[in-house]
Amino acid sequence: MTESSSFPGASQVLTLCKNIFSRIIKASDNVPQHVGLIMDGNRRWAKLKHVEIKEGHNAGFHSMSRALELCYEAGVSTATVFAFSIENFKRSSAEVDSLMNLARSGIKQVVQNGEMAQKFGIKINVIGDRKLLPDDVLREVEAAETITKDNKRAVLNICFPYTGRDELLHSIKEVVQATQLGDLASSDINEAAIDRHLYTGGSPPVDLLIRTSGVTRLSDFLIWQVSRRDVVIEFLDCLWPDFGSRQMAWILLKFAFSKSYATGETDPEDYDVEARGSPLKKHV
């Protein structure tokens, strides 16, 4: 679903299709609540197309808007995107600078004239070790957060700069500190406590993770959240700038189908076979 189609009115038809599709998915009542995105492959895409790396990142940004638009329309309440890893500071300073510029202008765009923020009422959170950000970017980030702080419908977490281990360390430290201050008894330290103190603490649990460009690693993204049982992990072969509404739609449909199918299947008789020691009777 690209906008390159030259038929008059084609884009309207596409928008209509997208809207109908998202309503349909919404009606299934099996929409992921929190989607994680690893937007991998912008640089490889740029190399393949023989354009500057900057262009690749730009294309990636548009691709992200397309995917998120469909998600939010279909009723996803939170999305977390991996924009910049702490490890990315190892890249060439020119590229780091251009990424920072892109982030600055991107955040600006989303906040000021991007319809997305207004249309969906998106609240933007920038999560990660923000001490590492340059001052001007940090200012932009804070401005974006204050402008969107009253939006209630959906949340966009931008991980910038972030690693999963750093997040976990941060949470562990906060929990330990809370016990020191007497807010939490050490016997009350449990999974929920760690969850609360993660950067994604206020969000629903992650139930879908998407990574593009054929790499089957987490690369230190949401390690705590994604290693849970029943989190759907999708690894796609396409590069992130080529990831569009079509792929997103397919993933949402797949998710909804498998979840409605699973709820249809969960018959208690299936489970306590072992307890009763009775032979398994497959029910149809």
Partner 1 sequence: MSKIKERVLRAQDDECKTSHRDKQRVSVVTNATRKSGKPGVTDVKGAVGSVLLTPPDSEAVRRKLESQKGVLGKSSGKIEFIFYKILLCVLYMLYACARYTQYHYNRAKILILNLAYSPSNTPQLIRQDVLKLQKLPKRLAAIVEKKREGDVGGGVSGVLNDGSDLVAWTISAGIKHLALYDFDGHLKRNVDEFRKSVFHKLTKYYDPSNVPKFAIRIPQWNKVYFNAPGQEADDTTSKKVAIEISLLSNRDGRETIIELTRTMADLCAQNEMQLSDITMKLIDSELTQLVGHEPDLLLYFGPNLDLQGFPPWHIRLTEFYWEQDNDQVTYSVFIRGLKKYAACKINVGK
- Mask: binding to partner 1, 156-195, rule CB under 8 A, as x and -? --------xxx-xx--xx-xxx-xx-----xx-xxx--x-
The count of other CB atoms within 10 Å of the CB of residue 118 is: 14
Residues 88-117 that bind partner 1 (CB under 8 A): 88-91
274 binds partner 1 (CB under 8 A): yes
Does position 75 interact with partner 1 (CB under 8 A)? The reply is: yes
- Cβ atoms of 226 and 36 within 8 Å: the answer is yes
Tell which residue, 134, 141, 42, has the closest CA to residue 97. 134
Name 123's Cβ contacts closer than 8 Å, sequence gap at least 6: 148, 149, 150, 151, 152, 154, 155, 156
Q: Which is nearer to partner 1, 146 or 257 (CB)?
A: 257
From 52-60, 121-129, 138-146, 270-278, give the range in contact with partner 1 by CB under 8 A. Answer: 270-278
Q: Which of residues 16 and 89 has its CB atom nearest to partner 1 in the complex?
A: 89
Q: Give whichever of 10 and 262 is closer to partner 1, judged by the CB atom.
A: 262
Q: How far is the CB of 175 from partner 1 (least distance, A)?
A: 6
Q: Which residues contact 136 (CB under 8 A, 6 or more apart)?
A: 104
Piece in contact with partner 1 (CB under 8 A), picked from 6-14, 117-125, 129-137, 268-276: 268-276
Q: Are 122 and 155 in contact (CB under 8 A)?
A: yes
Minimum separation from the CB atom of position 112 to partner 1 (A)? 27
Cis previous bond, 32, omega within 30: no
